[in-house]
Structure 1
Amino acid sequence: MLRERVVPGEPEIFVAWQAGTTDRTLLVIHGGPDWDHSYLRDPLERLDCRLLMPDLRGCGRSGRVPGEEYHPDGVVRDLLRVLDAFGVERADVLGHSYGGMVAQRFAISHPSRVRSLIVSGSSVLPLPPDAFAGWVERDEVLARQEDPWQREDLSLEACVRAEALAAAPANVHRAAAMPGYLRRLGEIRFGAEWVRQLQTGTLVSPRFPDAAQRIAELGIPVLLLHGRQDMTFPVGLVEPTLELIPRARAVVLEEAGHMVHVDEPDGYLEAVREFLAG
C-alpha cells in the first residue's frame, strides 16, 4: 500500500511511497511533464523495494513555482531533496518518457546518488528526423488523432487532459489494455505549468546532447525498457544505444507501445525485478 508524504521546501514535493522489504530504493520519475506519478503506480507498486514516486514541480499535488523555474535542473534539485528527506544515499532511478530524460540528467549530474538507471519508454539518443519513416500504421493513427489545441473553449489544463485522451490510441497498443488505461487517465491530476513555458519558447530540454557518452563513463548498470510498438520514442534507437553504453542491456516487449507498463505489465515488472536483482 502506497503512503503519502509532502517534502517541505520551495516548492513542496508530493511523494507517494512504500517502505518495501529490501534495502534497495527505486526513485520513479514520471513523464508528461504536466501529468502526475499516478499513471505509473501499477505495476510498480507490486515491487518489494522501497518505492519513491514524486510529482514533479508544478505537477499533481506538488507546489507551483514562477515560470522561469520550470527547468530540468530545478527538477533535479527537487529529486535530491526527496532522497535526502527519505534518508536515501543511493537509489535505483527509473524514468518514463520525459521522465526518462530527466533520469539521465539526474544520473549524469549526481552520479554518487545513483546506483542504476532504467530508461522506460524513452531514449538516450536524440530522435532523428526520419525516426518513424515508413511506419504506415503510425501515420494512420496520428492522422485520426484530434488536436485539442485548436479549440478556444478549453483551458490549458483541459487541453493537456484532452490531448492525453486523444493520444491514447498512439500510446497503448493492445486493445484489451485500453479501458484500464482510460480509467487511469481519469485519475491523473493534469496541470499546464510546463506547457505554458513551452508556449513561450523558453522550455529547456532535459536531454544532454552527449548523454550516451556521459552515462557510459559513469559505469552504472542501465536498462532500456521499451515497447516494440512505441510511437513516441522509436525502438530503433535501442540497439545504437547499447553499442555506446557497455553496461546497458535492453528488454523490448513485443506487444507494448509507449505506455509499455500498461500494455505488458507482467513483462514490465519482471524486467524491472530482474534488473534490480542483478
Structure 2
Amino acid sequence: MLITIAPEVQLFVDIEGAGWVPDGPCLRQKPTLILLHGGPGYDHSSFKPIFSQLADVAQIVYVDHRGHGRGSRRPAEEWTLDTFADDVVRLCEALGIEQPIVLGQSFGGFVAQRYLARHPGHPAKVVLSSTAARFNLDRKLAMFERLGGPAARTAAEAFWTAPAEATWAAYQAACMHLYNPTPGHPEARQRNVFNEEILYTWSAREFPVMDLRPGLASAQCPVLVMAGALDPVTPIDDAREIFDALPAAHRQWAEFANAGHGAWRDMPDEAMATLRAFITG
C-alpha cells in the first residue's frame, strides 16, 4: 500500500501479521518491527521471506525509503539521511505506531543511526545490522582484497571513489558475490525495484563525509549491534566502532563468525534466534 507521510510524498509499505492478538479474555498488543532496507537505491524485498518467521512476536512493517522502490519518486535534494530518518517518525505518525522496534540493515542502518540521534525517545529498541558509522574506505578495500584478491579491491576502490554506471557494473561483477559466503537465491535480486540514481548520488555526496558516531551517544533505548565477521562492505570493525560509541547501559552485541553482510543470509537460525530474543526480551 502507499502511505502519504507529507504533501506529495508516498512511501510503499507492506504489513505482515496482526498487531493485536487474542490472549485469554484480552487482546494483547504485539510490538511493531519496522524494517529499513539497505542500498541506497534498493527496496524492502530482501527482507522477504525470512522475516516472516518473526510475525508471531511482532507486527512487521516493510517500508521502502523515500524515493525508493514502489513509492513516489522524489527529487535528489530530498535524498538525505536527515530526511530518511525523519520519515520513520512521519510514517509512525501516519500509521499510529508508538515506540516501534526499528531494524536498519546496511544503508538502513545509517538511517537508523541518524534516527536514533534525531529522535532518541521515539523507538522502544533499535537493531543496527551490518552497518557503519563512517565511510571507512580502507577497511572495505582490505576486506574485499582478502576475500576476492586484487581485482575485487580495484573494483571496490573504483566504485566507492567514483560511483557511476560504469564503475557499478565492474563492482557487481567482482565484488557483490563476496558480500556473503552463502550464495544468494538467483531470483532474489530480480525482485528489487532499483533506483540506481539514488545509489550514485547519495554515495558520492553524503557517504564520504558521513560520521554518525557523535549521535549514537544520544541513544535512550536498547540497541543491538549485529555483525558478520566475513562482511567486506561494512567490516566487523565498523560494527565495533558503533558499539563503542553507544552508551554502555543500552548496547548489546551479536557477532556471527561465519556470516557476511546480513547475518540471516548465512546463519539464518542463529540470526533469527538473536532477533527473536531481542524483540521479546
Range class of TM-score, shorter chain: 0.7 to 0.9
Residue 265 of structure 1 and its aligned partner are, at CA, apart by 1.6
Once the two structures are superposed, residues 21-52 of structure 1 have per-residue CA deviations (whole angstroms, 9 ceiling, x without a partner) of: 55201111111110000012232121120111
Counterpart in the other structure of 2:253: 250
Change (3 A) 1:14 1:146: same
Query: Does residue 1:88 correspond to 2:97, yes or no?
Result: yes
Task: Verify the 8 A CA contact 1:126 1:209 in the aligned structure 2.
Answer: no
* Cα distance in 2 for residues equivalent to 1:132 and 1:159: 15
- Counterpart residue type for residue 51 of structure 2: L
1:18 is aligned, of 16, 21, 24, to 16
Query: Does residue 1:143 correspond to 2:152, yes or no?
Result: yes
1:57-206 equivalent positions in 2, closer than 5 A: 57-124=66-133, 127=136, 129-130=138-139, 133=142, 137-140=146-149, 143=152, 156=165, 163-164=171-172, 167-174=175-182, 178-180=183-185, 182-198=186-202, 201-203=204-206
Residue 133 of structure 1 and its aligned partner are, at CA, apart by 4.4
Answer with 55-64 or 240-249: which moved more: 240-249
Structure 1 residue matching 2:15: 3-state secondary structure: strand
Task: Verify the 8 A CA contact 1:58 1:193 in the aligned structure 2.
Answer: no
Residue 103 of structure 1 and its aligned partner are, at CA, apart by 0.4
- Counterpart residue type for residue 116 of structure 1: K
Task: Verify the 8 A CA contact 1:125 1:212 in the aligned structure 2.
Answer: no
Counterpart in the other structure of 1:7: 3
Task: Verify the 8 A CA contact 2:140 2:233 in the aligned structure 1.
Answer: no
Query: Does residue 1:277 correspond to 2:280, yes or no?
Result: yes
- Counterpart residue type for residue 31 of structure 1: G
Once the two structures are superposed, residues 243-265 of structure 1 have per-residue CA deviations (whole angstroms, 9 ceiling, x without a partner) of: 44312111111111113221112
Q: Give the superposed CA RMSD.
A: 3.0
Residue 277 of structure 1 and its aligned partner are, at CA, apart by 1.2
TM-score normalized by the length of structure 1: 0.81
1:41 is aligned, of 39, 45, 48, to 48
Residue 73 of structure 1 and its aligned partner are, at CA, apart by 1.8
* Cα distance in 2 for residues equivalent to 1:259 and 1:12: 27
TM-score normalized by the length of structure 2: 0.80
- Counterpart residue type for residue 181 of structure 2: H
Task: Verify the 8 A CA contact 1:172 1:263 in the aligned structure 2.
Answer: yes
* Cα distance in 2 for residues equivalent to 1:60 and 1:82: 16
Residue 137 of structure 1 and its aligned partner are, at CA, apart by 2.7
Task: Verify the 8 A CA contact 2:228 2:263 in the aligned structure 1.
Answer: yes
Change (3 A) 1:120 1:187: same
Gaps of 5+ in 2: 22-28
Answer with 23-32 or 73-82: which moved more: 73-82
Aligned length: 260
Gaps of 5+ in 1: none
Change (3 A) 1:97 1:141: farther
Change (3 A) 1:161 1:38: farther
Residue 57 of structure 1 and its aligned partner are, at CA, apart by 1.4
* Cα distance in 2 for residues equivalent to 1:82 and 1:23: 18
Residue 238 of structure 1 and its aligned partner are, at CA, apart by 3.9
Counting aligned pairs with the same residue, the percent is: 25
